[in-house]
Structure 1
Amino acid sequence: MRTRIPMLSAVGGLLLLLLMLLALAPSAGARATGISDAAAALKQGPVYVDPGAAGQLSEAEADALAQKIKDADKPLFVAVLPANAQFPPNGLIDNLRAQTGAAGLYAVRLGDRFDAGSDPAVMSPAAAQNLAASVRQPGADAATELNDFVDQALPAMRGSAPANWGSVDTDSGVPVAGLVTLGAVVAAGGASAYAVVRRNRLRKEAEERAALDKLRVVVDEDITAFGEELERLDFHPGEPGADDAMRDDYERALDSYDKAKSQMGSATHPHDVRGVTQALEDGRFSLAVLAARRESRPLPERRAPCFFDPRHGPSAEDRSWTPAGGTARQVPVCAADAARLDDGLDPMARTVDADGVRRPYWEAGPAYGPWAGGYYGGGMLPGLLMGTVLGSMLATPAYASEYGGGDFSGGDFGSGDFGSGDFGGGDSGGFGGGDFGGGGGFDGGGGF
């Protein structure tokens, strides 16, 4: 009897442990439902399709979308959810973000509606809303809508994907499996951390090279145009009527021309271009002053360049202008573009390459931010570009640190570690963007 009692106790303990493990393990036939289950799935991978919305996005489509996000190494979370009581629309994206616990850009398809929200360190909430609005099309299927959003969002995002994506078998809920692999994970931690850092560094260097290549084309055009303006001016320091003030203006214009060429030749990062276009803006103003002196006109006021094309020179006045799908704002315009607006015509906009298509620079990619920033200054530019593609991206601290050197929104956001501690802070005081429960969301009754 003395030996049987400990044996029975041991057996009882083993049975109790087994029951505890079974209680912790998810049932094989259980259906994942609710925000908590969606959040748990997003901790393990970038795309979650609730069983109740399985008809919207096939498994193959979800896998392809997830692979695209993983390949880009960006913290983009996508959830496809049914419009039912388990996913109340009010505050849905905020709740999903809070329970997932990782800073990022969250895109949610709820029934046949779509919206997005983001942490400011990854993308400004305004940019997230603008991107979401740009892909919404009546009757669009989930695959088309989500792929369009992801394709546009990934190049504009900052940060890296959570380290655990793809490293955990989400179908296994028995803690023993995690304990068995823990030692191997710890042992490989140092090598994995180095690989992640190196991969991120190489990715950023490649992105900067591609952005700088785009900028070189545009800036070289600007430098050439300014050189042609110098030639057309045909000013000679010793010509009759030339005085010291004129010669000083001309000297400043020449210095600006040389400075722009030198700085562009030595540029190694996209943000280096700001100094180049700032020099060109200085030079054009000097030419405008020189021209006024030679013609005995009042000297011009120092104004920003024409918004529609800085090569038009200093602006003459401000005019109301509304971009496609945006709101009206005052922009500086040259006399020629002011006349075109008065006649009901489109201004002569500066177009640049955007994936093989010529577009106005404010509707092109993020690479052109430093180019525009040198002409208009960090404080002025976001207001001019509000509601445009480029303006939305200029509003992000992440964009400024990657392309603009921090001039537009206060510098870098930190180390790039996207944990739950990143939830607050940023330009809006925390996570934000579009949401389904207010301001035109799912229960607002009027769309977006």
Structure 2
Amino acid sequence: MSNGAKRIFLALSGMLLSLGAVSFTAAPGAAAATSVPVVADAWEKSPVYVDPAASDQLSGADADAIAEKIEDADKPVFVAVLPADFPRQDLFQKLRTETGVTGVYGIRLGDAFDAKADRRVLSEAAVSNLVTTYGDVADTKSQLNAFVDQAVKDARGSAPDSWGGAGSGDGVNAGALVGVGAVLVVGGGAAYAMVRRNRRRRAEEQRAALEKLRVVVDEDITAYGEELDRLDFHPAEAGADDAMRADYERALDSYEKAKSFMAAARRPEQVRAVTQSIEDGRFSLARLAARREGGPLPERRAPCFFDPRHGPSVKDAQWAPPGGTERTVPVCSADATRLADGEEPMSRTVATDSGERRPYWEAGPAYGPWAGGYFGGALLPGLLVGTMLGGMMASPAYAADYGAGYGDFGGGAGAGYEGGDYSGSDFDAGDYGGGFGGGDFGGGGGGDFGGGF
């Protein structure tokens, strides 16, 4: 949001709104956060989180002011103030995975400070310079204000939708409000009505796409739940060990996450988190089966391209869609046999706009988020090249309607995750390595940060 647009927006909204930014702080007597998910849940609603056990470092009013600064800048910058005894091992990587948003993450942990970011949002050099410059500032308020002031200037992308900013399907689009405000100032009532119509049309299109996806995703969740029901495993059974129980627990957690994510989905791109959870769960089941049979643990592979319900792929095979070029796709053992015998694979079919059922890669743009959760951003373009779905996802307009982050479909708006996008665990772990827990991240002001703290 530009400074001029922001002034217009604030001038108009100031006449209507009296609510300030909300940060997730707590009274000194509240229970301390004990896990990464607590921080991630708080970040879903506000860019600033202060652990109750560290509330003496940053007041609620100061945290609110920093949160407001980040939200006004419309940038994906996350800040947390945590106690010194908060678990440090792989802290940044765990927080980034749990939060799932491409952005910049700054953490004050006791007297120590460090930051990490997705390189698409902020370069490694920029992050290192920020930590070096502000890591030695002793006062928490001064340190975080200075860090945020520079980070919001440098970061690319926009704030995540869950903060109620731009692009939220349930709230008011801040960018649209700025445009509406400018139109109202000059008395453009007709243009205002057009903006409202366009916003309603876009919201209706997204709802329709989500409902189409909901049918397919519910089928997937049901199929996965049936797999769990058929699983003849009991944590207390003879021969069960801790590794088996951990795999089983992860499989159950994935099922619950998938149901929860789908219930909370308000836009098509949020479906990616659902299918990613199902894929994670099926891999846990494959590991559990291997442990019980005494065989080697399976490598992490993409699910079967033709129908992810077939489970993790076992090999790669050559395949070409009708009239298309041949490409390498991950396949299950049954589809590998069919292809080798010259038969058609058992492809997942879904409903098209005309009502007929077609393989998902021929059924329209709405199924991109569904496929993206299963196959990730880097793998998907190669699998879908030359298909109807792949061609649609290469369009620069696709990201606006169905979200970005599906990989390089031609370098347009949808090429890779942008700042503020939900990518789940699909990110480069190297961007978040080191930090609190030992590593080689340069800069900082002492403590456990490699080359710094």
TM-score normalised by the chain length of structure 1:
0.49
- Higher RCO (CA-CA < 8 Å; seq separation 6+): 1
Larger Rg: 1
TM-score, with structure 2 as normaliser:
0.49
